[in-house]
Amino acid sequence: MPLVQKLFFYIVAMFLLMLILNLVRKRKLRENYSLLWIFISLVLILIVLLYPWLVKFSNLFLANPTSMIMFCGMVALLLLILQLCLMNSVQATQIKNLVQKITLLEEKVKNVSKKK
Amino acid sequence: MIFRKVLILIPAYNEEANIATTIANIKKFTKGKGWDILVVDDGSKDKTYLKAKKCEVIVVRHPFNMGYGVAIQTGYKFAIDGGYDILVQIDADGQHDPKYIPKMINTLRREKLDVVIGSRFRKKTDYHAPFMRRLGMILFSLIVSAVTRRKVTDSTSGYQVIDKKVLNFLSSDSFPCDYPDADLLIMLYFAGFKVDEIPMKMYENKTGKSMHGSLIKNFYYVMKMSLSILTIVLRKVTGLPSF
């Protein structure tokens, strides 16, 4: 991998890692949701630092390193989307239960107010 | 005869045109019985809430639209809180004739059933559903009949009488809130509840509205229902709890 390309990858990966850490620091991103993002940026940094290993790994699948990075990137994105869907499913159930609780509590509050 | 506390549940969404008539019709058959009527307004954008309030029934309102399944589950939770023995579920659009309510409750008691469903197809009536919807109804009724080994003719009917022992089950998070019909019947069967149908006549929907309205919604319904049934059966086969 040419030095310029290595540098570019490294800067992008570091920027992503810093961005995530900063978002966590500012409490805009929760720690549990940031883990997968941090993992992805660390993998990106490792790819730059251990490029010969990536070449060996790619050769195992008769692929070139660039295609391997693209493939791994796609898999990582799919995993991130799956994680978001999982979170969304949990939250949808929680929202449903909250809405029902509010609805029933509202009726109870009205009844109590009427009795007073 | 032991007095039993009955709640009539009407889930409603944008039904300002029908809600008052539906409640008035129900009241004709419940007069003097001391039964309560609950309207769950599922965040309607029109005057459904105000019109229902004027009818002097209990009305609760979702802060925003959550869908038919969530609305009926709110009703189930209300029934549990209020200690009701029997819940009658009836649509707000006036398609269900309330004259069947006493008959359905009697069947529930006499046959010692847990759920009684009003079926449009048990006997030949003049009810006509659009071709695609009818096809879906037949398909899912056949699947439910095959899985439960009982003849089910109307797996999508929202006209039901439910005993209190089923309400806790229906209030859990495993309740399929998207479209609780064919998959729910299979869940009830696996949970050991006794379900049966009685024939009834259903009126055509005057407004033409349906929760399976568009082609995309129909497609989503078929896919979602098939997946839901498959996962329930898979859970059963692999020894996981089906609910």
Q: What is the pLDDT of residues A52-79, one digit of tens each?
A: 888 888 888 888 888 888 888 898 889 8
Q: What are the backbone angles phi and psi of residue B6, rounded to the nearest 5°?
A: -115, 135
Q: How far is CA B156 from CA B95, B111, B118, in A?
A: 14, 22, 10
Please measure the distance between the N-terminal and C-terminal CA atoms of chain B and give it in whole angstroms.
34
Q: Is the pLDDT of residue B33 over 50?
A: yes
Q: Does B58 contact A103 at a Cβ distance shorter than 8 Å?
A: no
Q: Does B40 contact A104 at a Cβ distance shorter than 8 Å?
A: no
Task: Answer for the pair B126, B94: CB distance below 8 angstroms, yes or no.
Answer: no
* Minimum mean pLDDT range among A103-112, B188-197, B228-237: B228-237
Q: Does A96 contact B62 at a Cβ distance shorter than 8 Å?
A: no
Q: Which of B58, B61, B66 sits opposite A96 (nearest CB)?
A: B66
Q: Is the pLDDT of residue B1 over 50?
A: no
Per cent of chain B over pLDDT 90 is: 61
A30 versus B191: the higher-pLDDT residue is B191
* CA–CA gap between residue B151 and residue B153 (Å, rounded): 6
Q: What are the backbone angles phi and psi of residue B133, rounded to the nearest 5°?
A: -65, -40
Domain count, chain A: 1
Task: Answer for the pair B80, B168: CB distance below 8 angstroms, yes or no.
Answer: yes
pLDDT of residue A26: 84
Q: Is the pLDDT of residue B184 over 90?
A: yes
Q: Is the pLDDT of residue B131 over 70?
A: yes
For residue B208, what pLDDT band results from cuts at 50, 70 and 90? low
B126 versus A44: the higher-pLDDT residue is A44
Q: Does B63 contact A97 at a Cβ distance shorter than 8 Å?
A: no
A30 versus B90: the higher-pLDDT residue is B90
Q: What are the backbone angles phi and psi of residue B178, rounded to the nearest 5°?
A: -60, -60
Residues 6+ apart with CB under 8 A from B53: B59
* Cβ within 8 Å of B, A 42-101: 93, 96-97, 99-100
B40 versus A37: the higher-pLDDT residue is B40
Per cent of chain A over pLDDT 70 is: 100
B62 touches chain A (CB under 8 A): yes
* CA–CA gap between residue B186 and residue B174 (Å, rounded): 13
Q: Does A100 contact B73 at a Cβ distance shorter than 8 Å?
A: yes
Sign of CA dihedral A15, A21, A24, A25: negative
The 10s digit of each residue's pLDDT in A88-112 is 999 999 999 999 999 999 999 988 8
Shortest distance, CA A84 to any CA of chain B (angstroms)? 20
Please tell me which of B25-39, B77-91, B173-187 the model is most confident about, judged by mean pLDDT. B77-91
| Mutate which: A90, A95, A100, vs B, most B CBs within 10 A | A100
* Minimum mean pLDDT range among A72-81, B11-20, B64-73, B206-215: B206-215
For residue B20, what pLDDT band results from cuts at 50, 70 and 90? very high
* CA–CA gap between residue B56 and residue B32 (Å, rounded): 15
**Which residues in chain A have Cβ-Cβ distances shorter than 8 Å to B175?**
none
Give the number of C-alpha atoms closer than 13 A to the C-alpha of residue A50, restricted to the C-beta side.
11
The 10s digit of each residue's pLDDT in B51-76 is 999 999 999 999 999 999 999 999 99
The H or E element that residue B243 is part of is: none
pLDDT of residue B3: 56
* Amino acid occupying residue B161: V
**Which residues in chain A have Cβ-Cβ distances shorter than 8 Å to B78?**
104, 107
Q: Is the pLDDT of residue B214 over 50?
A: yes
Q: Which of B63, B81, B173 sits opposite A99 (nearest CB)?
A: B63
In terms of pTM, does the model score above 0.90? Answer: no
**Which residues in chain B have Cβ-Cβ distances shorter than 8 Å to A107?**
58, 60, 78
Maximum alpha-carbon separation in chain B: 51
Task: Answer for the pair B87, B167: CB distance below 8 angstroms, yes or no.
Answer: yes
**Across chain A, what does the average pLDDT equal?**
87
**Across chain B, what does the average pLDDT equal?**
88
pLDDT of residue B205: 67
| Domain, as residue range, for A38 | 3-115
Shortest distance, CA B88 to any CA of chain A (angstroms)? 18
Q: Where are the beta strands (DSSP E) in chain B?
A: 6-12, 36-41, 58-61, 86-89, 115-119, 160-163, 195-199
Average of pLDDT values for A29-54? 84
Q: Is the pLDDT of residue B241 over 90?
A: no
Q: Does B177 contact A107 at a Cβ distance shorter than 8 Å?
A: no
Shortest distance, CA A33 to any CA of chain B (angstroms)? 24
Q: How far is CA B87 from CA A32, B19, B32, B38, in A?
A: 42, 19, 17, 10
* Minimum mean pLDDT range among B108-112, B125-129, B171-175: B125-129
Shortest distance, CA B229 to any CA of chain A (angstroms)? 19
B83 touches chain A (CB under 8 A): no
Per cent of chain B over pLDDT 70 is: 92
Predicted complex ipTM: 0.72
Q: What are A57's two structure tokens?
A: 């790994």
| Mutate which: A101, A103, A106, vs B, most B CBs within 10 A | A103
* CA–CA gap between residue A32 and residue A113 (Å, rounded): 42
